[in-house]
């Protein structure tokens, strides 16, 4: 029962009527796809299953109002995935929001004075 160190933490995300479309995990996934050109490689890097990654991407593409990821199968290397211009913009805007949020968290350290 000694005095613990308190920390304010949290999560933010962007949602539509159909639920979450963009959060920290999804943004990281998009970035890794952008870097590798592959959904599979991005999923492996993040230790998530291909299905989980694909479901996220599919949900984003269906609910964002425009495609963030375009993928194709077959061809050189077996297939590939690219992030669209809209996808890159979405990544940048979420980063800006998240930076503000981190500042909010850091600027509101809970002062539990008991």
Partner DNA sequence: TTGCGTTATATTTCTTAATATATAACGGGA
Partner DNA sequence: TCCCGTTATATATTAAGAAATATAACGCAA
The residues binding its own copies (CB under 8 A) are 1-18, 21, 62-66, 86, 89-90, 93-94, 97, 100-101, 104-105, 108, 110-114
The interface mask with DNA, positions 70-109, x = CB under 7 A, is -xxxxxxxxxxx----------------------------
Cβ partners under 8 Å of residue 100, min gap 6: none
**Rounded to the nearest whole angstrom, what is the least distance from the CB of residue 96 to its own copies in the complex?**
9
Comparison of 39 and 90: residue with beta carbon closer to DNA: 39
Cβ partners under 8 Å of residue 23, min gap 6: 11, 12, 13, 14
Is-contact 15 106, C-beta < 8 A?
A: no
């Amino acid at each position: 029962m000694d005095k613990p160190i308190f920390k304010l933490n949290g999560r933010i995300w962007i949602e539509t009527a159909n639920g979450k479309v963009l959060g920290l995990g999804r943004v990281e996934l998009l970035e890794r796809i952008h870097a590798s050109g592959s959904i599979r490689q991005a999923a492996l890097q993040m230790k998530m299953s291909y299905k989980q990654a694909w479901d996220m991407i599919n949900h984003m593409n269906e609910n964002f109002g425009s495609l963030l990821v375009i993928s194709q199968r077959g061809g050189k290397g077996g297939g590939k995935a690219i992030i669209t211009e809209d996808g890159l913009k979405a990544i940048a805007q979420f980063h800006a929001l998240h930076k503000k949020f981190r500042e909010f968290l850091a600027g509101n350290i809970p002062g539990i004075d008991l």
